[in-house]
Amino acid sequence: MAARRSVKTIVIDMFSPYISLIKDVFPNANIIIDKFHIVQLLSRALNKTRIRIMNSRKERYNKLKKYWKLLLKDTSKLDYITYRYHRSFKKPMREIDIVNYLIGLDSELKETYEFYHNVKYAIEIRNNELLTLLIESANDKVSNYMRTSIKTLKKFKDYIHNSLKYRYNNGVLEGLINKIKVIKRIAFGFRNFYHFRSRILITQDLARLKA
């Protein structure tokens, strides 16, 4: 019990049963929501908004489908300088021009896009006051998908604040889990658990092949 009471922080995703369990087992731990899962929640809402609008009118379909990655790209990393020819537009355009065109197609998409990037920026600079202001002042012009995500953020707001307060995350662990899934998938499964375990250890440089 003393060891469990000494745990100071635990990083998790937004899954309520985990929180109840942690409070019982690790009563003194500060719960931190992994920033990756916060951004993932909002990016999925933005992407669902894009898809709904994309499917609503045929003339929007190709452009919203082809350039979806630009809507998720950090605004600071968009190309404001280089013009490249794009067949979908039949003229040279910068990335920022394409983004402005896409969000200009629908006001709901524009509001949802701006909310997503504003929250992402608040998380990046670790500004809890700005994050709270954005969440509390979000208007009804964002999509239903984003409004649902905002409700989730409000539900976990105390733990999300810890995400900006502390610098802990599950990035390394999430990466390792994803690598294990890829190993299993490309091998089409393993009949022998020992071989599966050995393959994981070798890829992590924790074991050596015998000469």
**Tell me: the pLDDT tens digits for 31-47?**
999 999 999 999 999 99
What span, in angstroms and rounded, lies between the C-alpha atoms of 198 and 194? Answer: 6
Angle (CA) 205-209-211 rounded to 5° is: 140
The structure's pTM equals 0.84
**pLDDT of res. 148:** 96
Is 36:169 a contact under the CB 8 Å cutoff? Answer: yes
**pLDDT of res. 171:** 80
Question: Where would I find the H helices in the chain?
Answer: 2-5, 16-25, 35-56, 58-66, 68-72, 95-103, 107-124, 128-136, 144-155, 157-165, 171-186, 193-203
**pLDDT of res. 69:** 96
Report, as ranges of residue numbers, the positions in the chain whose pLDDT lies below 70: 207-211
Place of tokens 């039949």: 90
